[in-house]
Structure 1
Amino acid sequence: MACTHPDQKQNDMTYRFLMGSYTDSANQGIELLEFNPAKNQLDIQTIAAGVENPSFVIANKNGDLVYAVEETAGEEGGKVLVFERKENNENLNPIYSTNSQGNHPCHLALSPDEKFLIVSNYSGGNFTVFKALENGQLEQKQVIQHEGSSVNTDRQEGPHVHSATFDPTGKYLMIADLGRDVVATYSVDASSDQPVQHLIDNLMSPGDGPRHLAFSPDGKQVFVIQELTAILEVFDFSEGNLNSKQRLPLTSPDFEGNVGAAEIRVSTDGNHLYASNRGDANTLSIFSKQENGEFTLEEHLPSGGIMPRNFNLTPDGKYLIAAHQGSHDIVVFERDQKTGGLSSTPWSTKANKPVYLFALDTQ
């Protein structure tokens, strides 16, 4: 798939993203998105066919190992897959597969030292700790089950572990549990046979439904996407404790309709936050850091499609690429690196239910 953007002068650079999706046929699977502004190209190709519902896919720092989930259910949960990736051959080579030990795995996280892979199992209400071996195989170390519920009887009838995020030091692991309204802090000790141990349950507001979170570049703040209330919450972070500082709505005061906040991204300088909101909103929200350290809203703007479940910034911060599960497309925005503002471009392309974008190296 390709599109063109006429009369655009850019450096000849190709941005590359692994793309996770929900699949409808055996010839679908993990895909590679390549975007070259100078060549007016936005292309998608399948690089691992036959993977069922690879809704989350990441790579190690070298880019030679790719990890993906199969968001499915079974006696031992869904699947976790490992692939070898070679620079001159984009097709992924499968090298390992194991069960996730919880139904519908929906998120993966590598520790900063890449010694551990954490798999979040949404329907299972648990997360699994794997030791990542040098040969690409995984050694299961722990399965940690959450218990409890919260006030939204439709969505919070039990635990729903939605994501796992390491702090920049790798000493702490933050688990967002949508079903319990908790962001739980765990300590990480790589030398222990049980490397992950519970420290603190940071309670969210009832009905929030924490989904994803991100750290500021200095590791002193945490930004949490509250899916069910469409709030971006700003916390101070210290030794695993979260102290709420701001609750920033992802809708305007006069908005009426369903919401479904989905993703949070932080600019590399830490001065801008971006969040997506699904439901009837279908927006991207931009927040800027002020001199007093607080964030203020710049704009809620249409995401360019339906159900912006995920989006990402190019590594140089020049573009934002939004993936729309509902309208089956990818849309590119140009980003002002000083103001953080986004402007529409004609670049877009069709994609089958895209739900995650992981930035690879540029070429």
Structure 2
Amino acid sequence: MDMATNGASNAPHTLYVALQSTGIVEISFDPSKEPEKSISIVGVSTDAGYMPGWVVVSRDKVYSISRTSSPGSEDESGGVFAFQIPDGASGDRGLTRIDSKSSNGKGGVHCEVSPDGKTFAAANITASTVSIFQLSEDGSMGQPTHIFDYNKSDPGPKEAHPHQATFDPTGRFLFVPLRTMDRVEIYSVRSARQDQRVHSIDLPVPAGPRHLAFNSISPLKAYMYLVSEKDNTIRVYSVTYDDTSASGITMNLKQTLSTIEKDMAPTPDEHKDLASEVAVSKDGKFVYVSNRNLTRAEPDTMVIYSINSDQANNDETHLTFIKAQEVPGKHPRNFALSNDKDNKWVAVSNQFTQDIVIIERDLTTGLLGDVKGRVNLKVEEPHQPSPDKVVFSDVPSKMTREDFLKNRANGPMCVVWK
């Protein structure tokens, strides 16, 4: 494989992991070292509520959400937390919590900061609520400006179970996949006091919409890739922005592809596979989707799709299934592309094997290459297999591995590159 390199992508990276049992774990990845020595645990913040399940980086802040707001499951509401990343100049190490609020519902599962860094959204899967907060200049959160309560707006035998609350590339719209109701709600969030639903996407039953990602083409057009975990599909929607229309946004379904095999039909409910995460490379050439196999005997996979940039094809062949590749570890609940300009690295968060695996990405073919690092976050008797979200970041703190081992109790839930 032709693995292109550059200074930025080969420089050391910092990642944050949401570890359900413990808190927000910081790890360092140095691609210049041998794979068995490239990853080290350097920090952990235990001040992130009970069972943190998602973490994001926005500028010099880290934000997270937990299933309940304190270290104990007796609380009814989840918690959202803001942390300051040290700049290194003062010699301070580790994340410093600067704010916390109720997420206004039990089961905090996802959070995100808008592209302009001014708005924060939190999804609570158990309570079926989504909360919107405005962020201050110092990164702290005010009181929620709006709470979408699906138990009130959509009463009935089914709970909504929102699994994500994510902003579109413009930051003007918030998308919420309702996993149990097989629907995606779209809200206008142009101002703090004018959040309103402008569009809904109804899906076949049972689809189980879980996560989505965007590919911005121009100020007036984007594509949305929606992954559903029950029918194991990725649906491609064209997104057109038009300020003259009532909603300001138009969505059109263009493609539905399998996340398991090429040309495979949508799977029935209770299938052995569950699609989990989706990401788009910065160059707009590839889409990635991870799959979790519930039999535990067969390997899990990551599917790579190529993006057809030819707009003359009417979007009907926008995505092409390239390959389903095996990934090391078991139950890849989440993965993240590194935030260098090439997205050279893929960090995979495995829930059952409770480890983080970093794989090199072929920039030409989009395929996954060699494993460049692996860190084990496993405990002897975990009561919650818990690696979830991982993100990349590059402002390091410092903590010894021995300190981490004293505090950990479960595996990671999510990972982010900084």
TM-score (structure 1 length as normaliser): 0.87
Does residue 306 (structure 1) correspond to residue 330 (structure 2)? The answer is: yes
Deviations along 1:114-160, whole A, 9 cap, x unmatched? 1110000111111001111123321121111114489xxxxx93111
- C-alpha displacement at 1:164, in angstroms? 1.2
The 3 A distance-change label for structure 1 pair 91 and 237 is: same
Partner residue of 1:122? Answer: 125
Does residue 334 (structure 1) correspond to residue 360 (structure 2)? The answer is: yes
- C-alpha displacement at 1:257, in angstroms? 5.2
Partner residue of 1:37? Answer: 31
Deviations along 1:66-115, whole A, 9 cap, x unmatched? 11111226665111111111122441111211111111111111112211
- C-alpha displacement at 1:216, in angstroms? 0.4
Code of the aligned partner of 2:146: Q
User: Is the contact made by 1:185 and 1:240 (CA closer than 8 Å) also made in structure 2?
Assistant: no
Does residue 355 (structure 1) correspond to residue 388 (structure 2)? The answer is: yes
- C-alpha displacement at 1:232, in angstroms? 1.1
Q: 2 CA distance for matches of 1:173 and 1:164?
A: 7
Partner residue of 2:150? Answer: 146
Q: 2 CA distance for matches of 1:296 and 1:276?
A: 16
Partner residue of 1:86? Answer: 86
Q: 1 CA distance for matches of 2:364 and 2:183?
A: 35
- C-alpha displacement at 1:230, in angstroms? 1.3
Does residue 49 (structure 1) correspond to residue 58 (structure 2)? The answer is: no
Does residue 251 (structure 1) correspond to residue 260 (structure 2)? The answer is: yes
Moved more, 35-44 or 286-295: 286-295
Gaps of 5+ in 2: 241-247, 379-385, 397-418
Code of the aligned partner of 1:58: V
Q: 2 CA distance for matches of 1:173 and 1:117?
A: 10
Q: 1 CA distance for matches of 2:167 and 2:302?
A: 25
- C-alpha displacement at 1:233, in angstroms? 1.1
Q: 1 CA distance for matches of 2:345 and 2:335?
A: 11
Where is the helix percentage greater, Structure 1 or Structure 2?
Answer: 2
Moved more, 248-257 or 86-95: 248-257
Gaps of 5+ in 1: 1-8, 151-155
Partner residue of 1:284? Answer: 302
- C-alpha displacement at 1:318, in angstroms? 1.3
Map 1:199-238 onto structure 2 (within 5 A).
Answer: 199-218=198-217, 219-238=221-240
Q: How many residues align?
A: 342
Q: 1 CA distance for matches of 2:161 and 2:257?
A: 23
The 3 A distance-change label for structure 1 pair 362 and 248 is: farther
User: Is the contact made by 1:76 and 1:103 (CA closer than 8 Å) also made in structure 2?
Assistant: yes
Partner residue of 1:344? Answer: 370
Code of the aligned partner of 2:41: I
The 3 A distance-change label for structure 1 pair 95 and 333 is: same
Where is the strand percentage greater, Structure 1 or Structure 2?
Answer: 1
Deviations along 1:15-46, whole A, 9 cap, x unmatched? 221111221xxxx3111121111123111233
Partner residue of 1:272? Answer: 286
Map 1:7-18 onto structure 2 (within 5 A).
Answer: 13-18=11-16
Q: 2 CA distance for matches of 1:10 and 1:34?
A: 19
- C-alpha displacement at 1:47, in angstroms? 2.4
RMSD: 2.4
Q: 2 CA distance for matches of 1:113 and 1:340?
A: 29
TM-score (structure 2 length as normaliser): 0.76
Q: 1 CA distance for matches of 2:159 and 2:141?
A: 28
Identity, % of aligned pairs? 27
Question: Which protein has greater RCO, CA pairs closer than 8 Å, 6+ apart?
Answer: 2
